Amino acid sequence: MAINAVSSDLSTIAARGAIAAAAMAILALAVLHLVRADLHPSRHMISEYAIGANGWIMGVCFAAFAVASAALLVSLLGSVNNVVGWLGLAALAAAAIGLFLGGAFPMDPATASPENMSFSGRMHGVGFMVGVPGMILAALLLSLALRGQAGWNGPQLLLLTAVIWVSLAVMAWALMNFMKQPDGPTIMGWANRLLMVSYAAWIMVAAWPKARWSLWAIC
């Protein structure tokens, strides 16, 4: 009984930490739009905010996303009981690692050629290749695993998952077009931001039942 109580308390604390960290990530991203108004949101990926004097704010943003992912993993450890759920937790771990790498190693300037990339720039690329697949797979697999369980809003989780996947597809499409026509109009930056914001929202919705908060208590 005591072990179950400790496990339940840890799950609740982790869920609340996931929600708080996801909210912090969104707040940091919003602040960056104010302090780096020189980077138009439609034409620049959020990783570009890491370059320059205010780059530490982007580091905080990525770190908050990583903490939110890791905390959600801890909160859900006792809530999945099938292969789909376990694979989802593994993907969530990959997302946390990739997001941490993205924050710890800022990208190189977009003008840097592949042969001139720094170690930090290469590690940032590794973080992207690990983190983004982890994010989209975690959202899909865990939404499927949790949708039938009491407390979780299955349709809401799946809707946010759809937004995550569609935003990634649009981002990839827009990025390919941008590489062909760098001077043309693009929405790759907006798609990139929608991907991250929808992922943060998904974390909050997935963590909420374990946080054991009530709207009345918060208000």
Q: Is the pLDDT of residue 90 over 50?
A: yes
* Averaged pLDDT for residues 46-72: 94
DSSP 8-class letter at 23: H
Q: What is the pTM of this model?
A: 0.91
Average pLDDT value for residue range 54-82: 95
d(CA 140, CA 88): 8
The pLDDT assigned to 166 comes to 98
**86 Cβ neighbours under 8 A, 6+ residues apart:** 80
Q: How far apart are CA 100 and CA 160, in angstroms?
A: 23
**What are the tens digits of pLDDT across the range 131-167?**
999 999 999 999 999 988 878 888 999 999 999 999 9
- How far is residue 64's CA from residue 67's CA, in Å, rounded to a whole number? 5
> CA distances (Å), 86 to each of 82, 92, 103, 117, in order?
6, 10, 26, 36
Using the predicted structure, report yes or no on whether residue 3 has a pLDDT greater than 60.
Answer: no
End-to-end distance of the chain based on CA atoms, in angstroms? 32
> Taking a C-beta distance cutoff of 8 angstroms, is the pair 41, 189 a contact?
yes
pLDDT attached to residue 213: 61
As a whole-number percent, the residues of the chain with pLDDT over 70 amount to: 93
| pLDDT tens track for 175-186 | 999 888 888 889
∠ Cα 157 14 165 (to 5°): 25
Contact (CB, 8 A) for 29 and 197 = yes
Q: For residue 217, what pLDDT band results from cuts at 50, 70 and 90? A: very low
Question: Which tokens hold the place of 21?
Answer: 């960290």
- In this predicted structure, what is the pLDDT of residue 1? 40
Burial 58-81 (b: 16+ CB within 10 A, else e): bbbbbbbbbbbbbbbbbbbeebbe
